[in-house]
Amino acid sequence: MNTQTAQTAQTAQEQQEQEQQAQQTVQEVNFDGLIGPTHHYGGLASGNLASSRNALSRSSPKQAALQGLEKMRTLLNMGYPQGFMPPQMRPDLSVLRRLGFSGSDHQLLNRAAKEAPALLSMVYSASSMWAANAATVTPSADSNDGRVHFTPANLLTTAHRAIEHEQTFVTLNAMFPDKERFAVHPALPAIHRFADEGAANHTRLSADYQSPGVGLFVYGRDTNTDLAALTFPARQSREACEAIARQHGLRHAVFLQQSRHAINAGAFHNDVVAVGNGPLMFFHEQAYEDKARDRAFGELNQWLPLQSLCVPASKVSLSDAISSYLFNSQLLAAMNADGSADMNNMCLIAPSECADNQAVKTYLNELLTDHSQPIRQVQFVDVRQSMSNGGGPACLRLRVILTARERAAVNPAFMLSDEKINSLQDWVKRHYRDELVPADLADPALFDESRNALDELTQMLGLGSFYGFQQA
C-alpha cells in the first residue's frame, strides 16, 4: 500500500469513527412554547403572585411572542438544538359549548362576555406558552423499554390550564411520531389525587446525558399533608408522580416533598425554587423540609455523584428568589467540540429581573467566583411579558434529552433554525396585537385574527389540518 492510499484509508476510518461518535452523542433539546396571539393578564392562577399582581393590566401579545423567539434564538446561537411548540387554539369554544353556551362562534363569544367574562378569559388564556407544564419526560436511557416517554400534564388545579392536555397530546404525537422511539401517553385521570403539573415538578439528574439517570419528582401534597395549613394550593400530588414513574417504566425515581413554607410564599411549582441538570441540583435553602431533602439526596447519591448547590436564605431571601425567578433559569451544560455535554461548565439563562434585584445580582456575582461549583456563566434574557404573568425562562421550555437517532426522528417542522425564527417573527408582526386588555376579549375580531394567524402558521410549517377548526 503506498503512502497516499494509506492516508486515504486513515482519513476514511477517522470519518467513520467521527460519524459513529456523532450518532452516539446525547444532547439536551429545548422545545419552547410559542406565545399565542391572545396573551393577556387574566389573573387566573391562584398562588401565582405575579399573575395576581398584574391581573387585568395591559399586555402586549406581539412583544411577548417576539421576546420568546429571541430567547430561543439565544440558545440556538449558543449551539444548542432548539425546537418549539405551537400555540393552542384560543379561544377554545368547545369548552363554552360544553358549559351550555350556544349559537354561532361570534354569538357564543358575545353571550359569554356579557354573562361570564371570567369564563371568557379562561378559554382565551395563552397559558400553553409555558411548555414546562406541557408534560413530564423520561429519556430512553432511563426507561425499561428504551423509548423516550411523554405524559401530558392534566393541570387540573387551575381551570384555564386543565383544558390544555388534549391538544398537548395531539401536539406531542405530531412532534414525536416515531412509535419505536417515542411513547406519548394520555394525561393522568382528572382526579384530585392525581393532580399533575408536568416537568415543572420533575428534574432528570445523571452523571452525564449518556448515562442512566434518576427522575426526581417533587410534590406538594400526599395523603398526610395538612391542606388547611396551606395558603395556596399544593398543585402536584405524590400519587401523580408515582403513576408517571410507573407509566414510563422508570428505572430509578426519587420523591421529595416541597416545603409548606415555599408553597405559602408563592412557589407554586418546584421550578420556582430549584433547577437541576446533569449531576447538579441548584436550589433554595427553604425549598424542601430539611429531613425530607436529606433523605432524598441520600437516595440520589446511590445512583450518581450528586452535586448540591444550596442558596442560603441569608444571601437570597425566599421572597427575592420568587420575585426574581432566580431558579426559573435554564441550567445548561456547555457543549464540547463533539457535541457532548461538559457538566463542569454550566450556564444559567436567567430572567433580566435577576439583574434588577440587588441581593440576587450580588449572589450571582459571588457564585461565578466560586470554582468549586460548575456554573461559569450567567446570561440574562428579557422575557418580561411572560414574567408578568408568572413564567420565566425555564417555564417557557420543555427539556428533552435525545440521542442523535432520536433527534433525527423528531418532526422537523418543530425544529428551529435562524431562518425559521426570522419567519416566525415576521408572522408575529403581521398577526399579533400590540396591546390587549381583558375587555378586548369580547371583540369578535380578536377571534378571527387568532384563527387566521394559526391557519397561516400551519401552512408555513406544512402541518396540514392541525387545529380542530381546520378539520371542521
Detail the residues annotated as belonging to a binding site for substrate.
Answer: 42-51, 133, 160-161, 235, 271, 389
Active site residue 197: yes
SS3 label, residue 365:
helix
- The DSSP call for residue 308 is E
Active site residue 310: no
- Binding site membership: which residues? 42-51, 133, 160-161, 235, 271, 389
Q: Are 200 and 134 in contact (CB under 8 A)?
A: no
Catalytic member of 39, 40, 164, 197: 197
**Could you write out the three-class secondary structure of 154-188?**
CCCCCHHHHCCHHHHHHHHHHHCCCCCCEEECCCC
Measure the CA–CA gap between 155 and 64, rounded to whole angstroms. Answer: 23
Helix 444-461 / helix 418-431 crossing angle, nearest 10 deg: 160
Catalytic member of 248, 395, 406, 431: 395
Query: Of 343, 335, 339, 336, whose CA–CA distance to 375 is shortest?
Result: 343
Find the distance separating the first CA and the last CA of the chain, reported in whole Å.
Answer: 68
Query: Which amino acid appears at position 327 of this protein?
Result: F
Catalytic member of 40, 202, 248, 269: 269
Query: Of 458, 457, 456, 435, whose CA–CA distance to 446 is shortest?
Result: 435
Q: Name the H helices within 138-289.
A: 159-162, 165-175, 238-247, 260-265
Active site residue 347: no
The beta strand positions in 392-464, using DSSP E, are 397-403
Helices and strands counted in the chain (H then E): 19, 15
Q: Which single residue is written with the C-alpha cell 464540547?
A: 336
Q: How many CB atoms lie within 10 A of CB 77?
A: 11
Range 186-192, long-range pairs (CB < 8 A, 24+ positions): 186/151, 186/152, 187/151, 187/152, 187/153, 187/154, 188/151, 188/154, 188/240, 188/243, 188/244, 189/154, 190/154, 190/156, 190/162, 191/156, 192/156, 192/237
Query: Of 460, 388, 295, whose CA–CA distance to 49 is shortest?
Result: 388
Q: List active site positions.
A: 197, 269, 395
